[in-house]
Structure 1
Amino acid sequence: MSADDAARPPAWAVEDVHLADPDPAWPGWADAFAAEARALLGASLTEPVLHIGSTAVPGLLAKPIVDLQARAEDPDSAIAAAQAAMAAASWFVVPRELDLRAWRRFVVRADPTGRHRLAHLHLMKPDEPRWDQQLAFRDRLRASPALADEYARLEVAAAARHPHEREAYTAEKSAFVRRVLTSG
């Protein structure tokens, strides 16, 4: 491996935004990835690992990446204790200086080739308000097909405008998310 290869981010970190039709396998994937996360983080987790995000909304198109959230009293310590085992199982911790979201530690489950994300784990402290917000957003989309359809249209438009910029794609959806959270 050359110095250039070592400095280059992993392929999963820079993959394009890709949306997929709803897949009835997503809940099973979520269960499997949640079991992996529980096995790796063990007693550090204070609550069950929950399936969130678009793949947790039946019938909604999504990036085919399962989002999970979990709580730990000290997410940094939990990750430090498990990081080697996590990496061996293709779970990679995104450094704080790259994630820039103080409310979580972000972990990506990559496929065996290292080219694609399969799952995200949002690891939070027990008192983090974002926990309830992410569940509320998921639940409101589950409860309202019209809201889910509106979100799907927004996702398609954002992916078309930002196919190579995951952060811009996510940012474009933030006003909608805020509106949903404040309207319910």
Structure 2
Amino acid sequence: MQTSVQVNNWPVWATEPVEIKPPDPAWLMKGAEEVKQLRETLYPFGVRDIEHMGSTSIPNLPAKPIIDMMAKIKSYNDLEEIIERLKANDWSYVPYELDGHEWRRFFVKVKNDRRDCHLHLMLEDEAHWGQQIKFRNKLREQPYLAEQYAELKRKLAEENREDREAYTEAKTDFIKRILEAQ
């Protein structure tokens, strides 16, 4: 899939503004479908655990309309072949040198020059896996926490509309507080 490129050679989707959309029940169905497709694509590489995570996996939570998923893998030895296999399904690999997160290999599925899905490929023993599941489940189980998170996301999206990294970083204290609570 060809995507438009901005003057600075970054794809359009790489610098799109932060926009929080009202909750959409279709996100859960789309997440389930994407997980199913990824299972079929990544099964030959030993990937068995794939989860829909992030705000679109939490019912009634406003979110950036991007389906976030994560998958466990034993090693990155087959990464080049995985990149090619995912590329055939409209996924773009973001090299970890650009992504800035050693703990994952990051992929983005783009439709109409906008991010549609993210895939965080992690090694089996990666601590971020458990943290993501715990945070998601706490927000699913405790609607008042989801509402607090929704308010924070709206505020931060307004303040950091043109800076995705700042938006993400500004959520860190809230996420840590939730993860540390019993």
Question: TM-score, normalising length from structure 2?
Answer: 0.92
Aligned residues: 178
More displaced stretch, 173-182 vs 31-40: 31-40
More displaced stretch, 6-15 vs 45-54: 6-15
Cα contact 1:19–1:64 (8 A) shared by 2? yes
More helix by share: 1
d(CA) in 2 for partners of 1:8, 1:101: 22
Query: What is the aligned partner in structure 2 of residue 130 from structure 1?
Result: 128
Cα contact 1:45–1:70 (8 A) shared by 2? no
Residues 124-183 of structure 1, C-alpha deviation per residue, up to 9 Å, x if partnerless?
111111100000000000111111010001100110001011000000000000000001
Query: What is the aligned partner in structure 2 of residue 65 from structure 1?
Result: 66
Residue 11 of structure 1 and its aligned partner are, at CA, apart by 1.2
d(CA) in 1 for partners of 2:61, 2:46: 29
Select the residue among 151, 154, 174 that pairs with 1:153.
Answer: 151
RMSD of aligned alpha carbons: 1.6
Question: TM-score, normalising length from structure 1?
Answer: 0.91
**Mapped pair 1:12 → 2:13:** yes
Residues 1:138 and 1:72: Cα distance change in structure 2 (over 3 Å):
same
Residues 1:45 and 1:155: Cα distance change in structure 2 (over 3 Å):
farther
Residues 1:160 and 1:170: Cα distance change in structure 2 (over 3 Å):
same
Query: What is the aligned partner in structure 1 of residue 93 from structure 2?
Result: 93
d(CA) in 2 for partners of 1:60, 1:148: 7
Residue 90 of structure 1 and its aligned partner are, at CA, apart by 1.3
Query: What is the aligned partner in structure 2 of residue 109 from structure 1?
Result: 109
- Give, as a single letter, the amino acid of the residue that structure 2 aligns with 1:93: Y
Query: What is the aligned partner in structure 1 of residue 23 from structure 2?
Result: 22
- Give, as a single letter, the amino acid of the residue that structure 2 aligns with 1:181: L
Structure 2's unaligned 5+ residue stretches are: none
Residue 78 of structure 1 and its aligned partner are, at CA, apart by 3.5
Residues 1:19 and 1:51: Cα distance change in structure 2 (over 3 Å):
same
Percent of pairs with identical residues: 38
More displaced stretch, 140-149 vs 7-16: 7-16
Residue 44 of structure 1 and its aligned partner are, at CA, apart by 1.6
Cα contact 2:6–2:12 (8 A) shared by 1? no
Deviation beyond 4 Å, 4+ runs, structure 1: 4-7
Structure 1's unaligned 5+ residue stretches are: none
Cα contact 1:50–1:68 (8 A) shared by 2? yes
Cα contact 1:41–1:78 (8 A) shared by 2? no
Query: What is the aligned partner in structure 1 of residue 57 from structure 2?
Result: 56
Question: What does residue range 71-90 of structure 1 map to in structure 2 within 5 Å?
Answer: 71-74=72-75, 76-90=76-90
